[in-house]
Amino acid sequence: MVKASLQGLSKLVGLALLSTLLAVTGASAHEVQPTIGDLTVRDGQAELVLELNVEAFLAGIDLDGLEDTDDAANAAGFDALRALPDDQIVQRAPQLLDVWNALPMLTVDGTPVVLQGGEISVPEQVSEDLPRVTRWQLLGDVPAGAASVQVAWPEGGGSMVLRQQGVEAPFTGYLDGGDTSQAIALAGGDAQPGW
């Protein structure tokens, strides 16, 4: 228990330092940053909004423990995707959904939720020297009376900060590639210490 708490604290400190460093120095296009996932469940629908480096996922780069995509086995593939215009990335992104749904990325009361791609926003005309963070809305139907949700983050997906939205005392937590969140109460109340 103490070890788990120390690991959680270590991750929090690491994220805080990373955020400060990126703000002060500016991030390069090849630095690996955590994915941010904002999860809202209401009116029979789950919405998971991801802010991620979609080119790294499309290139099949294993982001677990990676600090710079230049060090990845498929760095050239990443660079080729990063050089594409935003509209071509929008067209390619949906191919990731089959992999994520097979995981499955989202379960409600233990039942998989099939996610569909919603609005996707890839910034235009971002210098290739800077990161291009895509915002992607994923949607899925949730049965009436559901009580809890879990999010699984794919192995090789790197780090994810998962933030529950729209409830009191929302869950916020940190997932590594291959991790699954605890069962998160849809009614709220699962706020984690330190978040």
Closest CA to 185 of 23, 37, 41, 62: 41
The span from the CA of 123 to the CA of 101, in Å, is 25
- Residue 112 scores a pLDDT above 70: yes
Residue-wise pLDDT tens digits, 131-142: 789 999 999 999
* pLDDT in the model for residue 87: 94
Please say if the pLDDT value at position 194 is more than 70: yes
Question: Contact 68/29 with Cβ under 8 angstroms?
Answer: no
* Mean of pLDDT values over 1-26: 41
Q: How confident is the model at residue 55 (pLDDT cuts 50, 70, 90)?
A: very high
What is the pTM for the complete model shown? 0.83
Which spans in the chain are helix H? 2-25, 54-58, 75-82, 86-92, 95-102
pLDDT band, very low/low/confident/very high, at 15 (cuts 50, 70, 90): very low
